[in-house]
Amino acid sequence: MASVLVVDDSAIDRRLAGALLSKRGHTVDFAGDGREALGKIEGARPDVVVTDLEMPEMNGLQLVEAVRDTFPSLPVVLMTAHGSEQTAMIALRAGAASFVPKRRLADDLADTIDAIVAISLDVGRASTVDPLDAREIRYELGPDLQALGDVVGQLESHLLQVGLADETSIVQIAVALREALVNAIVHGNLEVSSSLLEDGGAAFAQTIERRRAEKPYKDRRVSVVARYKPDEVTYVVTDQGPGFDPRTLPDPTDLANLERASGRGLMLIRTFMDEVSFNEKGNEIRMTKRKAS
């Protein structure tokens, strides 16, 4: 379990987020604004920071920028509210690792923090992974979502070894990779519609569990190919599902989509990667990240 610092000037929202995370087993501390949060981080660094955007003294965007400058490996997750979409997008580009709409805290906050903590811990364990000795690495995954951690962790370690990104960017790239792999397994191979999320997520989770044991879903595989060049890395994730029309995807430039239960993964992928494209069938995504100049 992790230590989480929740930052919000609303005592009600702080308590809600804290209760959700404590129930999952995390240790939670609180701050009322970004300035107080920085003081607490300097005193006892948490594993992850969860912050509101609109706060007095130092807001969430300023906190993200300060954390990236001083604690680049510390991930920051945004809690977004209606009206803060523009600031949220700026904060994601400035270094935030992910976001959760406030109206979906009960459904998504704890799972998001679990995933971010696992990703950030993998960066710290990178030195224990065998050195990268090839320019192209391949993996294959079945329907078990628990297997994602090992693959994403190894890909993170390779990024550190080749020096393509700093610690903040590596966490963001890992978030994008995880979202692409979840989409390929859940929406691609298992054919579970994201529309089920709009009803709270119970039917979504139940359908995933059922189809993991049913044919033809359980026999499908996801392939992951990572290709490294001196100044860029390209990831190709391919599933064996029927595909879809990429033109039907929500517009990632439409800030209103930040508040939707579906489409969040693609929003993060397009924000954190430099180039994203789909094949014509819609069962393959290609993502490129270039070394910052």
Residues 86 and 204 in one domain: no
Three-state SS at 19: helix
pTM equals 0.90
Per-residue pLDDT at 266 exceeds 60: yes
Residues 202 and 282 in one domain: yes
Q: Using the structure block, give the residue that is written with the tokens 């290609």.
A: 286
Range of the domain at 111: 3-120
Residue 189 or residue 125, greater confidence: 189
244 — pLDDT class (breaks 50, 70, 90) = confident
Span 76-101, pLDDT tens digits:
999 998 777 888 999 999 999 999 99
Tokens of 124: 């710290």
Q: What is the pLDDT of residue 128?
A: 47
Among candidate residues 52, 57, 58, 111, the one with its CA nearest the CA of residue 77: 52
pLDDT (average), residues 242-258: 72
pLDDT (average), residues 271-277: 95
Residues 26 and 152 in one domain: no
Residues 112 and 137 in one domain: no
Spatial distance between the Cα atoms of 267 and 8, rounded to a whole number of angstroms: 24
Strands 76-80 and 48-52: parallel
pLDDT (average), residues 184-188: 96
Span 44-63, pLDDT tens digits:
999 999 999 999 989 999 99
Q: What is the pLDDT of residue 203?
A: 87
Task: Return mean pLDDT, the chain.
Answer: 89
Tokens of 271: 């924000």
Per-residue pLDDT at 246 exceeds 90: no
Per-residue pLDDT at 125 exceeds 80: no
Residue 149 or residue 264, greater confidence: 149
- Report CA 40 to chain centroid distance, whole Å: 24
Q: What is the pLDDT of residue 134?
A: 64
The domain that holds 245 is classified in CATH as 3.30.565.10
Residues 157 and 31 in one domain: no
Q: Using the structure block, give the residue that is written with the tokens 């955007």.
A: 53
Residues 111 and 148 in one domain: no
Residues 169 and 90 in one domain: no
Q: What is the pLDDT of residue 18?
A: 97
Q: Say how many C-beta atoms besides its own lie within 10 A of residue 31's C-beta.
A: 23
Q: Say how many C-beta atoms besides its own lie within 10 A of residue 210's C-beta.
A: 12
Per-residue pLDDT at 189 exceeds 90: yes
Q: What is the pLDDT of residue 30?
A: 98
Contact between 92 and 117 (Cβ < 8 Å): no
Q: What is the pLDDT of residue 162?
A: 84
DSSP state of 132: P
Nearest-5° Cα angle at 175, 7 to 289:
125
Domain boundary among 65, 99, 120: 120
Domain boundary among 104, 120, 136: 120
- Report CA 195 to chain centroid distance, whole Å: 20
The single-letter code of the amino acid at 203 is A
Residues 286 and 201 in one domain: yes
Per-residue pLDDT at 280 exceeds 50: yes
Span 128-176, pLDDT tens digits:
445 566 689 999 999 999 889 889 998 998 888 888 899 999 999 999 9
Percentage of the chain lying above the pLDDT 70 cut: 89
Per-residue pLDDT at 119 exceeds 80: yes
**b/e code 168-196 from CB counts within 10 Å (16+ = b):** bbbbbbbbbbbbbbbbbbbbbbbbbebeb
Per-residue pLDDT at 195 exceeds 50: yes
Residues 230 and 159 in one domain: yes
> Residues for the chain: how many in total?
293
Residues 78 and 140 in one domain: no
Nearest-5° Cα angle at 252, 122 to 177:
20
Residues 171 and 111 in one domain: no
Residues 23 and 139 in one domain: no
- From residue 285, give the alpha-carbon distance in Å to each of 35, 44, 100, 194, 245: 40, 40, 24, 17, 12
Q: What is the pLDDT of residue 68?
A: 96
Contact between 268 and 174 (Cβ < 8 Å): no
Quick check: bond before 143 cis, omega within 30?
no
Among candidate residues 159, 166, 173, 167, the one with its CA nearest the CA of residue 272: 173
Spatial distance between the Cα atoms of 203 and 89, rounded to a whole number of angstroms: 30
